[in-house]
């Protein structure tokens, strides 16, 4: 759980949206954080924590590590 909390702490640096996530087909999406606005260092750390660019929707981040529905 601490990795998920660390990831969301990083996301918080880039915004505090009211509804930050969605989950579909065992994938957790964070579409409300602009991928291009996130620093390269934070992108690298987010990747280590299981979050990648949302290539499916082309917006924000996604993780197959934490999604479940």
What pLDDT score does 25 carry?
85
Three-state DSSP at 10 gives helix
* Radius of gyration for the chain, computed over Cα atoms and rounded to the nearest angstrom: 11
What pLDDT score does 69 carry?
63
Tens-digit pLDDT profile for residues 21-51: 999 888 999 999 999 999 999 999 999 999 9
| pTM metric for this prediction | 0.90
What average pLDDT does the segment 9-20 reach? 97
pLDDT band at 6 (very low <50, low <70, confident <90, very high): very high
What pLDDT score does 55 carry?
79
């Amino acid at each position: 759980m601490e990795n998920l909390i660390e990831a969301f702490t990083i996301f918080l640096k880039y915004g505090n949206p009211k509804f930050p996530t969605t989950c579909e087909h065992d994938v957790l999406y964070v579409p409300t954080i602009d991928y291009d606005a996130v620093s390269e260092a934070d992108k690298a750390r987010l990747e280590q924590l299981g979050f990648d660019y949302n290539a499916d929707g082309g917006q924000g981040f996604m993780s197959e590590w934490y999604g479940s529905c």
